[in-house]
A and B are shown apart, each in its own frame.
Chain A
Amino acid sequence: MGLRKHSNLVSYALGNVLKYRTRSLAIVTALILSTFLLGSAEFIREGVMTDLNASADEGPDLIVQKLWGGRQAPVPLEWKENLSAIHGVRLATPRVWGYIDVGGGGLLTVMGVNASEYGTIVGTTGTEIMEEGRFLNDTDRYRMVVGEGILDIMRASFAGVSVGIGSALSLIAQNGSLIEFEIIGVFSSNSRIYSNDLILTDLDSARQVLGLEGASCTDYALWAEYGEDLNSVAFRIDTQIADARVLTRDALSDAMLVTYGNRAGVVALLWVVLLMTVILLSFTVSTSGSDEARREVGLLKALGYDTVDVLEIRMFESLTLGMLGASLGVSSAIVFDFILGAPILSGYLLGWSFLLLNGGLPLAISAPTIFTLYVVAIVPLLVATVVPAWRNAITEPDVVLRGV
């Protein structure tokens, strides 16, 4: 009972979408643009968040640097003893790191670590961190564990040559000499920020490549005892070691997010402008501003359509346009981000940090994000069309038709 009526109303609504082609096309086009823009930015945002979370899980709890004269300076290895003695510190291990230019604007991260300490703390055995090969050990020299991105670059540079475990990679040291490394392992971390462009080697080899003096390191990576409040540990270090600058995991994430967030704000603003265009367009063609739409509602009411019938028609019209626009917008965003690599937008959103991600753009897609994209596309459209129709539908047909 009543099914035929609803079928008629849906059919009438779909007919309207096709009959008012110009109006429908304008709304769908504006929706595609706004959803595409928001979707593209959201997939990158979600990718950044996923990577930051993964990095935070894998990375140290605290990083301690040395400031000298207001600038970052090499940290003496003697700090290890003092840092390890501070209450709440489980492990303090030195790192020597920096970037090397591989041409074409690409940078790779070189990090030298104490193999046994680092290997133990990040759990290189019995976990899935290593894709293949093995982690470093204390006797390794000029050997490296690399991220997938490094292999990709090598494959691109040496087409036809098999690249993998056992391959040699020569790096130009700061003094101009060429140092040959052997690849002994490959990371499989989900975090692209952390491992994709990373070359992990021993401390001495890293010092040689980056030109750092023998008894120093770039910083100390610290892991706190379980249950310790990181800010409290950071405070103790800060007060007990002069010249120390302590960065907590949260502070590092925040620093990255600030850069991303400012730019994402501009994209969000653009999206709001586009969505407002959709709303205004829909509102104009469906309100008392459009005599045609107003008169149609008045006529339907005069012919015996209930208010809910009119709303059902307008709702289906909007849902059809909204679903179509949002689906095409989301699809375009997926193609743009995941297949084309989000040209222009990714560089703008990620800024300098993107330059460090030679291996690829951090992208992620999830059901809640897709749901959100559909909701923010469809709900405003529904409101902009159904509310004016409802206002006309509850007004006397005589008033709506004659405009008295």
Chain B
Amino acid sequence: MTAIIRAESVWKIYGQGSPREVNAVKDVSIDIAQGEVTALGGPSGSGKTTILSLLGLLTKPTKGSVYLEERELSSLSEVYRTKVRRERIGFIFQAQYLIPQLTSVENVALPKLCTDMSRDDAENLAKERLTALGMENRLDFRVAELSGGEQQRVSIARSLMNSPDILIADEPSSSIDEALTKDLLATLRGMSEENGLTVIVASHDPTVLNWSDRIYHMQDGSLVE
């Protein structure tokens, strides 16, 4: 198995040294194979989201290292880590983090506005992504006017804007029904097989876990067999 990204003995401690210190992740080592769909299972608060943040370079480990194609990234500058996020990683957040005042298209186009792609081109690409997810009738709706499922699809479309190598999805099925979940998983599977997209998904939904190529279970911040 060729690991595109891996974590080696990573720890993440929030509020270190304070009375509210939390060991969110404890000594976790994990390999994510290129082109595979890897799932992280476990109850709420087990550290799944924190592992995703570490692998997605949204935070640095308190201890240990994260490697992207064998290049150690934890110690690199924020500028470089931001560049990697911009060019190679897509995110589907559990809380979605859509900007309610913006339309679907404007939200989806956001990742491309900090590149040299023109705004018009970015919005045309955003329309393509949204149309592919069945949102062609909601392109100019403000996301505050959309249903939970529609908002999730906007979030998914946004995660694919930069044609990422790695897609990180945190509870992607949390606000959509089973049928839509299956559609979403089929879409991601198709992208994985056709484009070699690596998918890392955190979920406690059995449908999602059963669909993945590899499953890791977490408990109290650690991986369990």
Contacting A at CB under 8 A, from B89-113, are 91, 93, 95, 97, 99, 101-102, 106, 110-113
Contact of B86 among A1, A304, A394, A404 (CB under 8 A): A304
Given contacts A303-B110, A303-B114, A304-B82, whether A399 and B119 have CB atoms under 8 Å apart is no
For residue B50, which residues in chain A have a CB less than 8 angstroms away from its CB?
398
A1 CA to B79 CA in the complex, in Å?
A: 19
Is A117's CB within 8 Å of the partner chain B?
no
Q: Are A300 and B110 in contact (CB under 8 A)?
A: yes
Q: Are B101 and A299 in contact (CB under 8 A)?
A: no
Q: Mark B49-71, 1 if CB is under 8 A from A, else 0.
A: 11001001011100000000000
Is A71's CB within 8 Å of the partner chain B?
no
Is A8's CB within 8 Å of the partner chain B?
yes
Given contacts A20-B101, A396-B59, whether A4 and B118 have CB atoms under 8 Å apart is yes
Is B204's CB within 8 Å of the partner chain A?
no
Q: Are B59 and A12 in contact (CB under 8 A)?
A: no
Given contacts A8-B113, A398-B53, whether A304 and B162 have CB atoms under 8 Å apart is yes
Given contacts A299-B97, A398-B59, A401-B58, whether A305 and B116 have CB atoms under 8 Å apart is no
A394 CA to B77 CA in the complex, in Å?
A: 11
| CB-nearest residue of chain A to B159 | A303
Contacting A at CB under 8 A, from B26-69, are 49-50, 53, 56, 58-60
Q: How many residues of B contact A (CB 8 A)?
A: 37
Is B141's CB within 8 Å of the partner chain A?
no
Given contacts A8-B113, A9-B113, A305-B114, whether A399 and B85 have CB atoms under 8 Å apart is no
Is B178's CB within 8 Å of the partner chain A?
no
Is A302's CB within 8 Å of the partner chain B?
yes
Q: Are B99 and A5 in contact (CB under 8 A)?
A: no
For residue A401, which residues in chain B have a CB less than 8 angstroms away from its CB?
58, 93, 95, 97
A307 CA to B53 CA in the complex, in Å?
A: 19
Is A397's CB within 8 Å of the partner chain B?
yes
Q: Are A309 and B118 in contact (CB under 8 A)?
A: no
Q: Are B119 and A7 in contact (CB under 8 A)?
A: yes
Is A2's CB within 8 Å of the partner chain B?
yes
A299 CA to B22 CA in the complex, in Å?
A: 24
Q: Are B113 and A302 in contact (CB under 8 A)?
A: no
| CB-nearest residue of chain B to A309 | B114
| CB-nearest residue of chain A to B90 | A303
A401 CA to B50 CA in the complex, in Å?
A: 12
Q: Are A8 and B114 in contact (CB under 8 A)?
A: yes
Is A213's CB within 8 Å of the partner chain B?
no
| CB-nearest residue of chain B to A19 | B101
Is A228's CB within 8 Å of the partner chain B?
no
Q: Are A398 and B58 in contact (CB under 8 A)?
A: yes
For residue A254, which residues in chain B have a CB less than 8 angstroms away from its CB?
none
A200 CA to B22 CA in the complex, in Å?
A: 87
* A258 CB to nearest chain B CB (Å): 52
For residue A7, which residues in chain B have a CB less than 8 angstroms away from its CB?
118-119
Contact of B114 among A9, A20, A394, A396 (CB under 8 A): A9
A17 CA to B19 CA in the complex, in Å?
A: 41
A402 CA to B58 CA in the complex, in Å?
A: 11
A9 CA to B112 CA in the complex, in Å?
A: 10
Q: Mark A1-40, 1 if CB is under 8 A from B, else 0.
A: 1101101110110010001100000000000000000000
Is B117's CB within 8 Å of the partner chain A?
yes
* A306 CB to nearest chain B CB (Å): 6
For residue B85, which residues in chain A have a CB less than 8 angstroms away from its CB?
302-304
For residue B113, which residues in chain A have a CB less than 8 angstroms away from its CB?
5, 8-9, 11-12
For residue B93, which residues in chain A have a CB less than 8 angstroms away from its CB?
302, 401
A1 CA to B116 CA in the complex, in Å?
A: 8
A19 CA to B102 CA in the complex, in Å?
A: 8
Contacting B at CB under 8 A, from A273-319, are 295-296, 298-307, 309
Q: Are B101 and A295 in contact (CB under 8 A)?
A: no
Q: Are B116 and A396 in contact (CB under 8 A)?
A: no
Given contacts A302-B58, A304-B83, whether A4 and B117 have CB atoms under 8 Å apart is yes
Residues of chain A touching chain B, judged by Cβ–Cβ distance below 8 Å, are 1-2, 4-5, 7-9, 11-12, 15, 19-20, 295-296, 298-307, 309, 394, 396-399, 401-402, 404
- Some 10 contacts from A to B, beta carbons below 8 A apart, are A7-B118, A7-B119, A8-B113, A8-B117, A302-B97, A305-B82, A305-B86, A398-B58, A401-B93, A402-B53
